[in-house]
Amino acid sequence: MKKLFYLLTVFSISLTLNAQDIARSPIGGQQPKSDPDKIISIETAKSSLVLKVSGRDGRLYHLYLGPRLSSTESFNQRGNENHLAYATFGTDNLFEPAIRVLHNDGNPSLELIYVSHETANAGNDATLTRILLRDPQYPFEVTLFCKAFTATDVFEQWAEIRHTEKKPVTIYNYASSMLHFDAERYWLTQFHGDWAEEMKARESELTAGIKILDSKLGSRAHMYQTPVFLLSLNEKAEENSGQVLAGTLGWSGNFRFLFEVDEKNSLRVISGINPFASEYSLQPGKVFKTPSMIFTFSNSGTGQASRNLHRWAINHGVLNGTGSRYTLLNNWEATGFNFDEKKLTSILDDTKKMGLDVFLLDDGWFANKYPRNHDRAGLGDWQENKAKLPGGLGYLVKEADARGVKFGIWIEPEMVNPRSELYENHPEWILKLPNRPEHYFRNQLVLDLTNPKVQEFVYNVVDGMLTANPGIAFIKWDCNRMMTNMYSTYLKDKQSHLYIDYVNSLYGVLERLRSKYPDLPIMLCSGGGGRVDYGALKYFTEFWASDNTDPLERIYMQWGYSYFFPAISVCNHVTSWGKQSLKYKTDVAMMGKMGFDIEVDKLTENELKFCQDAIANYNRIKDVIYKGDLYRLISPYKENRAALMYVNQEKTKAVLFSYTLNTRYGETINRVRLQGLDPDKTYNIREINVPNEGRFRGGSENGRSYTGDYLMNVGLNAGSSTPLTSVVYEITE
């Protein structure tokens, strides 16, 4: 018995050593070094990320990510080198690596030793730290980049991998970032769903082992899972307290977030492109650059984390984030594919009548041999359909101009229907397996964007249209299917490059378009929110959050997006989805970038007047919504209502939205305590979007004034217990 106990103890000690301490021992066979340790501290206004080069083994360790420390001196003590900052595979790491490679001599291991680092001013209130690591045996190196945005407390991390070995090296894993935490407990909130049910938040505790959030969908990559997460330390995530990491990957393809809790309850978070079926053959001298992992650490809950990301996104993440946005009337819900020139000109009149900026012509305007009268034909043939549009796009642009409104148009240039001339003429431009039947989704296939000829084609679709019709003022760029039929004729023996090269090729086309058309507003759509990330938003001004526009559903979805994306980028339309009142629909759409997709000619006079007034209200307050700070006050996940507000930077103007959901009989709706105001200022409360008919009972605070102090501690009556009613207050100093 005694012997057994002894054996067990020895066994468990050796296991413990394997797991953690071996990583601290010098590289196999090498003499221990005795260089001084080097601390690399990367700071923002409120957080610190601390790394250490160990003088003992020359490796780079992650020591800390958390609230900003006044000094990093204490980290100089030895013994805190537990977590490799960019763990490799093949030497002594026993857990998931950040990088794994196969050298061309068959050696599957990598060792990364610190070479040098520098931190430079990166303009725009940011610093950029580069840390060069190199394998002592192979000419293989990794540069880790960390851009720290001081004021917004946002970090952007990526890696560049290169080598000068004689032949290509295959890289199997290539993370953008690896972070470590040592907390009591870890809570992960993920945002998943499907078409028309995007961004459902679900929080769960991480336990020992691996949890992965990922996508293997390729093009409409985020249809089931958006590349975002919240990680809360010790406690579940709260809006105004607690330590939370909010992270998102700027990559419009397959992504992977891997959370591994080890036997010591340490957590490693590895983020980047999903390495699934994507081993990459890296040529000597070429650089493999990973996308950016964007994250912020908040010491006061998810509210602050979101405000950090929003402020960062407006300034750095979304194209023209500091500008404004057009309101628009879309015809997709109203007409589908069924329209002609006369119908469209009448919608141009409606756009004007409503007071909206743009008429956005959706799907169905193109293709002649196989007219796009339904979703089974025409994709790929981007010529105006002569029967529907005899005067071409030029006529519509002219008519729009004559009415003082702008003209916008829908395209889906990465796709093709088998019933199209494009398919007939260029079968080699399409992703499909040579010896298997084609698999369709929405009756279509994906073009092989890795082929430069296809890139040229896609560029020309857009550029050709804009050159012929310089009056086009808005584009909706759709992408309605994910990748299957995974085979590119162009890539030949490099099929495992397809997922990655596709996205980089897409970025290449967008880059080229943006250098010619830097300011044109383009909405990013992917059958709803199937492609929402900051890799794409560099090229897009906004995104279509979901095809589901039922306002009750939308409250949850928009709530979900609001954790990571600023209101200016989230397109919300008032449509016929849902049986709620026009007011409710409008109030819900207003919490982001508002638009309409309704049959304006079917509105009653009162409804039309309501819309016109609401649009005028929106134009007056939209700057606060677009650029203000968001405070989520009452979560729809916790109560039968939702309340949120935006406050401008000067704290002189705010907007409060309060939505009652499906309340039970007798349920009371308490006051809402506001946040983010100046306690010493006095604010006037004005209720807006008040219908002039029906059973509407407004909020009871219209016309009153209160101090910020009162509003934040006592609160406002905002809304009733009547299901599916809403109140919007414009709050002005």
Q: How far is the CB of 334 from ligand GLA (least distance, A)?
A: 12
Whichever of 522 and 674 has its CB closer to ligand GLA, that residue is 522
| Nearest-angstrom CA–CA distance, 497 and 288 | 12
Cβ–Cβ contacts within 10 Å for residue 517, how many? 15
| Nearest-angstrom CA–CA distance, 684 and 669 | 22
Q: How far is the CB of 463 from ligand GLA (least distance, A)?
A: 21
| Nearest-angstrom CA–CA distance, 380 and 402 | 31
Whichever of 126 and 409 has its CB closer to ligand GLA, that residue is 409
Q: 662: which 2 tokens?
A: 């499906």
Q: How far is the CB of 369 from ligand GLA (least distance, A)?
A: 19
Q: 637: which 2 tokens?
A: 């996940």
Whichever of 61 and 410 has its CB closer to ligand GLA, that residue is 410
Q: How far is the CB of 489 from ligand GLA (least distance, A)?
A: 27
Q: How far is the CB of 144 from ligand GLA (least distance, A)?
A: 38
Q: How far is the CB of 526 from ligand GLA (least distance, A)?
A: 7
Helix (H) or strand (E) holding 61: strand 60-67
Q: How far is the CB of 380 from ligand GLA (least distance, A)?
A: 14
Whichever of 160 and 375 has its CB closer to ligand GLA, that residue is 375
Q: DSSP character for 587?
A: H
Listing DSSP states for 375-409 in one string gives: TTS-TT--SB-TTT-TTHHHHHHHHHHHHT-EEEE
Q: How far is the CB of 494 from ligand GLA (least distance, A)?
A: 31
| Nearest-angstrom CA–CA distance, 624 and 729 | 13
Q: 610: which 2 tokens?
A: 């309501």
Whichever of 332 and 339 has its CB closer to ligand GLA, that residue is 332
Q: Give 667-671 contacts, CB < 8 A, sequence gap 24+.
A: 667/640, 667/721, 668/721, 669/641, 669/719, 669/720, 669/721, 670/715, 671/714, 671/715, 671/716, 671/717, 671/718
| Nearest-angstrom CA–CA distance, 596 and 573 | 5
Whichever of 275 and 592 has its CB closer to ligand GLA, that residue is 592
Q: How far is the CB of 587 from ligand GLA (least distance, A)?
A: 21
| Nearest-angstrom CA–CA distance, 306 and 628 | 12
Whichever of 59 and 531 has its CB closer to ligand GLA, that residue is 531
| Nearest-angstrom CA–CA distance, 562 and 310 | 9
Give the footprint of ligand GLA on this chain (CB under 6 A): 332, 362-363, 410, 478, 480, 525, 527-528, 544, 547
Whichever of 280 and 359 has its CB closer to ligand GLA, that residue is 359
Q: How far is the CB of 227 from ligand GLA (least distance, A)?
A: 19
Q: How far is the CB of 41 from ligand GLA (least distance, A)?
A: 45
Measured at the alpha carbon of residue 365, what is the angle toward residues 360 and 369, in degrees to the nearest 5?
165
Q: How far is the CB of 571 from ligand GLA (least distance, A)?
A: 10
Whichever of 480 and 660 has its CB closer to ligand GLA, that residue is 480
| Nearest-angstrom CA–CA distance, 135 and 114 | 9
Distance from the first to the final alpha carbon of the chain: 78
Residue of this chain nearest to ligand GLA (CB atom): 363
Q: Are 579 and 322 in contact (CB under 8 A)?
A: no
3-state secondary structure 481-519: CCCCCCCCCCCCCCHHHHHHHHHHHHHHHHHHHHHHCCC
Whichever of 417 and 455 has its CB closer to ligand GLA, that residue is 417
| Nearest-angstrom CA–CA distance, 625 and 643 | 14
Q: Are 148 and 126 in contact (CB under 8 A)?
A: yes
Q: How far is the CB of 379 from ligand GLA (least distance, A)?
A: 9
Cα dihedral sign, 101-106-108-109? negative
Whichever of 372 and 651 has its CB closer to ligand GLA, that residue is 372
Residue of 640, 696, 626, 693 whose CA lies nearest to 669: 640
Q: How far is the CB of 529 from ligand GLA (least distance, A)?
A: 9
Q: How far is the CB of 193 from ligand GLA (least distance, A)?
A: 14
Whichever of 293 and 422 has its CB closer to ligand GLA, that residue is 422
Whichever of 361 and 630 has its CB closer to ligand GLA, that residue is 361
Burial of 64 (C-beta count, 10 Å sphere; 0-12/13-18/19+): buried
Whichever of 239 and 412 has its CB closer to ligand GLA, that residue is 412
Cα dihedral sign, 241-242-243-247? negative
Whichever of 343 and 704 has its CB closer to ligand GLA, that residue is 343
| Nearest-angstrom CA–CA distance, 363 and 96 | 45
Q: How far is the CB of 362 from ligand GLA (least distance, A)?
A: 5
Q: How far is the CB of 524 from ligand GLA (least distance, A)?
A: 11
Q: 138: which 2 tokens?
A: 């192979």
Distances (CA, A) of 529 to 246, 457, 524: 19, 25, 9
Whichever of 95 and 596 has its CB closer to ligand GLA, that residue is 596
Q: Are 544 and 333 in contact (CB under 8 A)?
A: no
Residue of 28, 434, 443, 23 whose CA lies nearest to 262: 23
Whichever of 362 and 533 has its CB closer to ligand GLA, that residue is 362
Task: Order across the sheet with 60-67: list the strands.
Answer: 38-43, 47-53, 60-67, 83-84
Helix (H) or strand (E) holding 544: strand 542-544
